[in-house]
A = this chain, B = another copy of it.
Amino acid sequence: MTDKDILSYYERSTCSVQWLEFNRALAAELSAGLPPEEIRQLFRRIGERVAVALPIERCDTVEQLRAGFNSRWKSIDWGFATLQEQSDHLGIVHACSPLAMAFGPDATDWAGGFFEGVYQTWFAAQGTPADLKVRADSSGADGLPQVVLRLERAPQ
């Protein structure tokens, strides 16, 4: 047995069996009925609603934000985030969410939309200036079960 067998077992376990087949069927219906960009927007709006339903308390530091985010994610078994302050942006890596397993191979881009919606809404509620936007970085995942995002000033 290898690390890869074990990681693969764990990845399958990320999505509750109660919703695995339902979500796979929903994904097939969405893919058949809507263009990819519209599905991505749908997931973004779902993410915005989820962020409103699971609000974060007022935080004063990046570390408090990380703890607040992860307390919410932990309560619903949605993996966890790390935050990294850079000179020109804040890096967000969200790992072990059930989205990839739930919605199958097409979901990479949908997951990006979902987490953009969630984190943008959470940052806005903290008073983050409106010209700072959360964007998923599609080049970032490298085969790991994670979504890489950045909070940064949107290009003019």
Interface residues of A (CB under 8 A from B): 1, 3, 5-7, 9-10, 13-26, 28-29, 42, 45-47, 49-50, 53-54, 75-80, 82, 93, 95-96, 98, 144-146
Q: Give the complex CA separation of A146 and B25 in angstroms.
A: 22
Interfacial chain B residues near A15, Cβ < 8 Å: 18
Main secondary structure of the interface of A (DSSP, over half): helix
Closest chain B CB from A73 CB (angstroms): 10
Contact B49 A6 (CB under 8 A): no
What chain B residues lie within 8 Å of A7 (beta carbons)?
Answer: 3, 6-7, 10
Shortest beta-carbon distance, A85 to chain B, in Å?
Answer: 15
A28 touches B49 (CB 8 A): yes
Q: Which residues of B contact A82 (CB under 8 A)?
A: 1, 5
CA distance A47 to B77 in the complex (A): 25
Known A22-B50, A29-B42: A17·B75 in contact at CB below 8 Å = yes
